[in-house]
């Protein structure tokens, strides 16, 4: 059986081909799964999708009409999938419920230190042989307060690094993580966390309840000199409201690995095109903002675990087994 994998990055392709070797043939495509590309899957019972795939009702209808019965998504988040439609169509949907939390937590800290110590600006200057220090002053993280919104596996990993820096820890979640309280984390409501933190990082899933978790009111609650990090999902932040606050001169730094309208932009080369997204175009012009292209998860360790879990999901589907990765079971 040939499995069709959409949205495969060049570095990811050999890992996928090696993982499926001995089980199934796999054909890797660099195009992303959406309404335009879905007809390519005709005749393939199983397809694999990437994090930015469009698996809304229209796409699922096209896949089902072409004979697809199972979608194995190579990511944890599933806010892009219409699960009700998948169930109605009798399709099996699986995701990767776990991969290295250190990949995302370490990258979030990379963003934090880059904006705090003005690394991008410093690197650009030295390439021009400008070795002045004007405008490059940062702050010690030691003794300051980190606010962690979402203290699951990734939030815990971030908190451990913050604890290593000697930071005070504030947490917000629906349930306390004993490992975080053991580090000295104090759980508070969202408003107290935002008002009391020098650094705020987001590690919660995107759901209707968390969409624009950081909205205009939340941004105004934060300290003027705070650092804001988002390496989870772009929809957690109201980007237009963020731009308004940045125009007012607020925040020491903002590090974003995700963007709420990233579909159709991230993972693609748009360098020779005019960007029609005025909000993103404005966002990247701020000297205290660093935007990266959803790469926090992108380590050999994490991608290897994602690919291995995807293979297992496919094998489970074929054997009629159900695991914690299955969002919509085989009918």
- CATH code of the domain covering residue 65: 3.40.50.720
Q: Do 257 and 137 have their domain in common?
A: yes
pLDDT at 215: 98
Mean pLDDT of 242-254: 98
pLDDT at 96: 96
Q: How many domains does the chain have?
A: 2
Average pLDDT taken over every residue of the chain: 96
In terms of DSSP bridges, do strands 199-202 and 145-149 run parallel, antiparallel, or are they unpaired? parallel
Q: Do 279 and 135 have their domain in common?
A: yes
Lowest mean pLDDT among 200-204, 240-244, 325-329: 325-329
Residue 21 annotated to the active site: no
Q: Do 105 and 251 have their domain in common?
A: yes
pLDDT at 168: 98
Q: Do 233 and 151 have their domain in common?
A: yes
Which residues make beta-bridge pairs with 47?
4, 71
pLDDT at 268: 87
pLDDT at 65: 97
User: Alpha-carbon dihedral of residues 51, 53, 54, 58, nearest 10 degrees?
Assistant: -130
Q: Do 106 and 218 have their domain in common?
A: yes
Q: Do 227 and 313 have their domain in common?
A: no
Residue 32 DSSP symbol = P
Angstrom distance (rounded) from CA 154 to CA 134: 35
In terms of DSSP bridges, do strands 326-328 and 92-94 run parallel, antiparallel, or are they unpaired? antiparallel
> Over the stretch 262-298, which tens digit does the pLDDT of each residue have?
988 898 889 999 889 999 999 999 999 999 999 999 9
Centre a 10 Å sphere on the Cβ of residue 43 and count the other Cβ atoms it contains. 10
> Over the stretch 93-124, which tens digit does the pLDDT of each residue have?
999 999 999 999 999 999 999 999 999 999 99
- Which of 314, 316, 274, 303 is CA-nearest to residue 48? 314
Identify the domain containing residue 196 by its residue range: 101-291
Angstrom distance (rounded) from CA 291 to CA 204: 19
Q: Which of 233, 245, 250, 260 is catalytic?
A: 233
Contact 80, 173 (CB under 8 A): no
pLDDT at 152: 97
Q: Do 138 and 190 have their domain in common?
A: yes
Angstrom distance (rounded) from CA 311 to CA 325: 12
> Over the stretch 313-324, which tens digit does the pLDDT of each residue have?
999 999 999 999
Mean pLDDT of 187-209: 97
Residue that the structure tokens 């933190």 belong to: 197
pLDDT at 200: 98
Q: Do 212 and 134 have their domain in common?
A: yes
- Token reading at 110: 């990379």
Residue 250 annotated to the active site: no
Given a cut of 90, is residue 51 above it in pLDDT?
no
- Which of 309, 308, 305 is CA-nearest to residue 325? 309
- Which of 116, 156, 149, 176 is CA-nearest to residue 230? 149
Given a cut of 80, is residue 1 above it in pLDDT?
no
Q: Do 77 and 157 have their domain in common?
A: no
Lowest mean pLDDT among 20-29, 170-179, 253-262: 20-29
Given a cut of 80, is residue 54 above it in pLDDT?
yes
Give percent above pLDDT 70 in the chain.
100
The terminus-to-terminus CA distance of the chain in angstroms comes to: 20
- Residue 298 phi/psi, 5° resolution? -85, 70
Given a cut of 80, is residue 331 above it in pLDDT?
no
Q: Do 157 and 20 have their domain in common?
A: no
Q: Which of 74, 203, 250, 294 is catalytic?
A: 294
User: Alpha-carbon dihedral of residues 278, 254, 97, 35, nearest 10 degrees?
Assistant: 10
Q: Which of 12, 245, 260, 262 is catalytic?
A: 262
Q: Do 307 and 284 have their domain in common?
A: no
- Residue 142 phi/psi, 5° resolution? -55, 130
Alpha helix segments (H runs only) across 99-172 = 101-116, 119-127, 153-164
Given a cut of 80, is residue 3 above it in pLDDT?
yes
Given a cut of 90, is residue 52 above it in pLDDT?
no
Contact 170, 192 (CB under 8 A): yes
Angstrom distance (rounded) from CA 150 to CA 122: 32
Q: Do 118 and 78 have their domain in common?
A: no
């Amino acid at each position: 059986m040939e499995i069709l994998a959409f949205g495969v990055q060049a570095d990811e392709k050999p890992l996928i081909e090696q993982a499926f070797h001995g089980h199934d043939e796999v054909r890797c495509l660099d195009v992303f799964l959406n309404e335009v590309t879905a007809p390519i899957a005709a005749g393939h019972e199983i397809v694999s999708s990437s994090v930015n795939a469009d698996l809304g009702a229209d796409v699922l209808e096209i896949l089902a009409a072409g004979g697809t019965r199972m979608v194995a998504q190579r990511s944890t988040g599933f806010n892009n999938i219409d699960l009700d439609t998948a169930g109605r169509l009798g399709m099996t949907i699986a995701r990767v419920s776990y991969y290295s939390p250190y990949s995302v937590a370490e990258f979030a800290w990379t963003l934090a230190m880059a904006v705090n110590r003005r690394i991008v600006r410093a690197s650009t200057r030295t390439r021009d042989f400008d070795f002045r220090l004007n405008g490059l002053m940062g702050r010690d993280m030691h003794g300051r307060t980190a606010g962690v919104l979402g203290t699951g596996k990734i939030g815990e990993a971030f908190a451990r690094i913050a604890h290593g820096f000697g930071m005070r820890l504030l947490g917000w979640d629906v349930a306390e993580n004993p490992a975080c309280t053991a580090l000295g984390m104090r759980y508070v409501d969202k408003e107290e966390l935002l008002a009391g933190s020098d650094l705020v990082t987001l590690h919660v899933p995107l759901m209707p309840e968390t969409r624009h978790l950081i909205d205009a009111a939340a941004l105004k609650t934060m300290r003027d000199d705070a650092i804001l990090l988002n390496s989870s999902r772009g929809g957690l932040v109201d980007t237009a409201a963020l731009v308004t606050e940045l125009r007012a001169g607020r925040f020491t730094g903002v590090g974003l690995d995700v963007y709420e309208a990233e579909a159709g932009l991230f993972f693609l080369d748009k360098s020779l095109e005019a960007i029609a997204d005025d909000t993103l175009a404005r966002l990247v012009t701020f000297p205290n903002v660093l935007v990266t292209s959803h790469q926090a998860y992108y380590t050999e360790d994490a991608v290897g675990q994602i690919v291995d879990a995807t293979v297992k999901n496919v094998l489970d589907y074929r054997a009629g087994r159900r695991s914690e990765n299955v969002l919509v079971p085989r009918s």
